Amino acid sequence: MNERRQLAYTVVLCLAGAGLALFAATRTWAVDVVARPEPLPPTRTPRTGGDLLPWLQPLAVVGLAGAGAVLATRRWARRWIGVLLLLVGLGVAAGGVYGLSETFAWALACVAGGLSLAAGGAATAVRGPSWPGLGTRYERAARRPADGPTATWDALDRGEDPTLS
């Protein structure tokens, strides 16, 4: 498989895992039932994964942002982003495992999303530096030489007085 395709598959894996984890964290994981005196019915309060584990949704959002950072970085920075995504994915999966201990159905989706994110992060950490980066068309253009009609304006931008030269 060529390197561009590996990069694309890994970014899609990270996005899918983080998106699934974010979606699962917003679903109802538990319902608290409080009994009330007769003739009142018991109150039911639904609780999402984010209610039970407040750090779960922010971690999933970091995973989404990290998937974009994989595209925008190169070499060693990409490797560090991969390590970060691996750790974030493991954290999300750990939150899902906690939910599984309470038999929450959406927690399983959270575990799957976290493991997908962790797998994408591991692949980025190992193979990422060899993948292609963004082209030079996204980099800032080099400064023009100090000639032509804009040279005076460029000198003023630098804080120089063009009348003294």
Q: pLDDT (tens digit, 9 = 90+) per residue, 31-89?
A: 889 999 988 999 998 888 888 899 999 999 999 999 999 988 888 889 999 999 999 99
Question: Are 92 and 59 spatial neighbours (Cβ–Cβ below 8 Å)?
Answer: yes
What letter does residue 1 receive in the DSSP assignment? -
- Predicted local confidence at residue 142, as pLDDT: 56
Question: In the chain, how many domains are there?
Answer: 1
Q: pLDDT (tens digit, 9 = 90+) per residue, 117-163?
A: 999 999 999 988 887 777 655 555 555 555 667 777 888 888 887 67
Strand partners, 47: 30
In a domain, 151, yes or no: no
In a domain, 61, yes or no: yes
The Cβ of residue 10 has, within 10 Å, a number of other Cβ atoms equal to 24
CATH number for position 8: 1.20.140
Question: Domain of 45?
Answer: 3-134
In a domain, 10, yes or no: yes
